[in-house]
Every structure is written in C-alpha cells, then in structure tokens.
C-alpha cells in the first residue's frame, strides 16, 4: 500500500485547520467529509491527481429521481451550469446523486489551504443552493411536469439559503 501523497496530506491539513473532520481513503489520494448545510446533508470527496498537482472537490447529496422527472432535472442543472463561472452540477443517474464538482490545478505539491477551503465552501454552497429547486421537480407529480417552467423556477429567490453572516446584517 502506497503512503498518502504530500498533496492529499495538505488537503487533510487544510480540513483540520478549518476544524472539519475528515478521513483519508486508504490506498487512494482521497479525503472524505460530511457537512450539514441549510437544505441538505452533503458528502464531500476531495481527490488529488498528483501527477498534475490538481485537486477535484465533489459535493454529493442523494436525490431519487424517476425516469419521468429526469428531463426537467437535467434541464435545471444545465440552466444552472450556464450561470456558473467555476465548477458544474451533475446528476449521477445510476446512483441517484446530485453533485457539484470543482477542480483546481496548483503550482506546488503542497496545496494552498485557502484555495482548498474555498473549493469546499463553493461545493457546499452551490449544492445547497440547487437542492430546493431540484426537490420541487422531484416532488412534482408526473402529471404536472409539463407545467414546470425551469427558467422561471430558477428565478425564485425565496429558495436560496441565507449567506452565513448575512443574518446579522438584517435591520
């Protein structure tokens, strides 16, 4: 069994600096952690691709979707992806998992803890943001799916979770 790389150890260290519990996946350059967000529980996988000094952070949450609901779900993720600058939403059809993935290529073997933290925060925030929209599609009866206007659904701001710290800024 090969020892963990310097890259994945720097990821584990960054998690520790933030007070996030994580575990190394034995024999792989992967760190796993769980987070409770506003709308859902999110599993984070951070995988180092050591030959190119890249890190992929993937947030996942279960989302069971029927075949009839798949087209509007994929439209939702496609439209949401058009609004993103970093990362992308995905839906794993075989595992019924809603995901957000972001990747960064680092200059040095020891990854920057601030960038790692930002990647994790981004994955959690984006997945938490899209979950209530996806849940509306998921709960819509098959007979009502044709009436869903996904573009307008994404314009609903009442479903967006509060930004941490903004609650204190309210009058």
- All structural domains of the chain with their residue ranges: 6-159
If one looks up domain 6-159 in CATH, what number appears? 3.30.1460.70
Looking at residue 166, its pLDDT comes to 56
What residues in the chain have per-residue pLDDT under 50?
169-171
DSSP for 8-39, please give it.
HHHHHHHHHHTT---EEPTTSSEEEEEEE-SS
3-state secondary structure at position 171: coil
> What pTM, to 2 d.p., does this model score?
0.90
Looking at residue 39, its pLDDT comes to 87
Query: 97-105 and 54-62 as β-strands: parallel, antiparallel, unpaired?
Result: antiparallel
């Amino acid at each position: 069994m090969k020892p963990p790389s310097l890259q994945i150890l720097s990821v584990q260290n960054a998690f520790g600096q933030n007070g996030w519990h994580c575990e190394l996946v034995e024999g792989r350059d992967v760190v796993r952690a769980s987070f409770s967000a506003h709308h859902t529980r999110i599993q984070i996988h951070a995988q180092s691709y050591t030959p190119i000094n890249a890190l992929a952070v993937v947030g996942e949450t279960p989302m069971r979707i029927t075949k009839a609901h798949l087209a509007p779900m994929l439209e939702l993720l496609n439209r949401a992806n058009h609004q993103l600058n970093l990362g992308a939403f995905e839906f794993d059809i075989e595992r019924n998992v809603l995901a957000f993935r972001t990747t960064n290529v680092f200059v040095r073997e020891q990854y920057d803890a601030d960038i790692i933290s930002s990647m994790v925060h981004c994955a959690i925030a984006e997945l938490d943001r899209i979950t209530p929209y996806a849940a509306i599609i998921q709960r819509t009866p098959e007979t009502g799916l044709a009436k869903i206007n996904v573009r307008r659904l994404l314009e609903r701001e009442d479903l967006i979770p509060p930004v941490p710290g903004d609650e204190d800024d309210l009058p």
